[in-house]
Amino acid sequence: MSVEETEPAAPVPAQKDTTEEQRKYYYRIRFRKAGQEYTASSQLAELEYGNLVIVKTDHGPEPAMIVGRAAGVAGALEVRGVSYIMQREGTREEEEKYARLPILEQEAFDICLDKIRRLHLPMHLVRVERYFNGSKIIFYFTADSRVDFRELVKGLVQEFRTRVEMRQIGVRHETQMTGGLGTCGRELCCTSFLKQFDSVSIKMAKTQDLPLNPAKISGLCNRLLCCLTYEYDSYRSMKQGMPKIGRSIRYQDSVYRVVRLMPLQGSVLTISEDGEERLLGEEEWRAAQPVQKPRQKQKGKRSPRKQQKKKGQQEANPEAKEKKTK
């Protein structure tokens, strides 16, 4: 009985674990020590606070500092929205160059400020940003009107031998760059996480029953607080269907006048004809009937529309006017 010899099977190549390559980790980063925080993704799982990383931007790679982990599941396969993507960790030389960057920006700030004073330009220098590769320097300033800074730019270009950009900003962006603490005791929203400024109106403060004192609803920029927009939509949706302030409603054979709305509680504060206050719950004020105010006719006065109509009839029929005069 013969046994056929068979060649040994070729080893199967090990398959790469593609899930590990697709896995993303999310961090909070800052380009400057007192700058705004952004969310960035990376395939590196062991980054800690203070690590220097190189981030991809529109104008090239820029260094940034790790502030902490971003909210969410670490190492999740689901892709979430981020502001930037990390390319790699920074080298020792890049760390030393990044440490000198604030010193170079402060020197550029002092030189530009001295030139502004010599040229007597009506502008206020706020901040200077220098690209990591030194290809461009941006000077942020505020001014009440348009400023002719052509001579200033020529002097700065001769001084730094690189591209120079003068960028005029408003008071809100100035506060965003300067930073500070709000009335809530925390870091300003515009400094920490806001990326764009939405329009804020006094109507938002009224809808949320806030005091209309400018000192209480204004920020460090002397503009209305940005946080007025956070809960405005919620208050507006909660107040839909509730009786308006000043309206009269009838509940259980009694007439009440609405003096205050409490949307968070879903209740309405009313006052009766006898001057007694009563707090109506949601079921109660929904069961109440609105009271129509009687219309008061003004005697001896005609509306402008009726006067104009009568005048037109008289002009169309001049014979009737002559009979009245006779």
Q: With 90 as the cut, is the pLDDT of residue 116 above it? A: yes
- Residue 196 CA to residue 219 CA, distance in Å, equals 16
* 33: Cβ contacts below 8 Å, ≥ 6 apart: 65, 102
pLDDT-derived band at 60 (thresholds 50, 70, 90) equals confident
Residue of higher predicted confidence among 242 and 307 = 242
Query: Residue 70 has what pLDDT?
Result: 83
Query: Residue 138 has what pLDDT?
Result: 95
Q: With 50 as the cut, is the pLDDT of residue 273 above it? A: yes
The rounded Cα 323 to chain-centroid distance in angstroms is 71
| 112 contacts 141 by C-beta, under 8 angstroms | no
Residue of higher predicted confidence among 306 and 221 = 221
User: Would you state the CATH architecture of domain 98-169?
Assistant: 2-Layer Sandwich (3.30)
Residue of higher predicted confidence among 306 and 247 = 247
Query: Residue 123 has what pLDDT?
Result: 93
> For 125-137, what is the mean pLDDT?
92
Percent of the chain with pLDDT strictly greater than 90: 37
| 177 contacts 127 by C-beta, under 8 angstroms | yes
> For 305-315, what is the mean pLDDT?
59
> For 182-188, what is the mean pLDDT?
88
Q: With 70 as the cut, is the pLDDT of residue 74 above it? A: no
At 201, is the secondary structure helix, strand, or coil? coil
Query: Residue 63 has what pLDDT?
Result: 93
Query: Residue 1 has what pLDDT?
Result: 39
34-43, 61-70, 151-160: the lowest-pLDDT one: 34-43
Q: With 90 as the cut, is the pLDDT of residue 296 above it? A: no
pLDDT digits (tens, 9 = 90+) for 145-177: 899 999 999 999 999 999 999 999 999 999 988
Percent of the chain with pLDDT strictly greater than 70: 81
In DSSP terms, which residues pair with 256 in a beta bridge?
A: 249, 272
**Phi/psi-derived region of residue 155, left when phi > 0, alpha when psi is between -120 and 50, beta in every other case:** alpha
- Residue 237 CA to residue 263 CA, distance in Å, equals 9
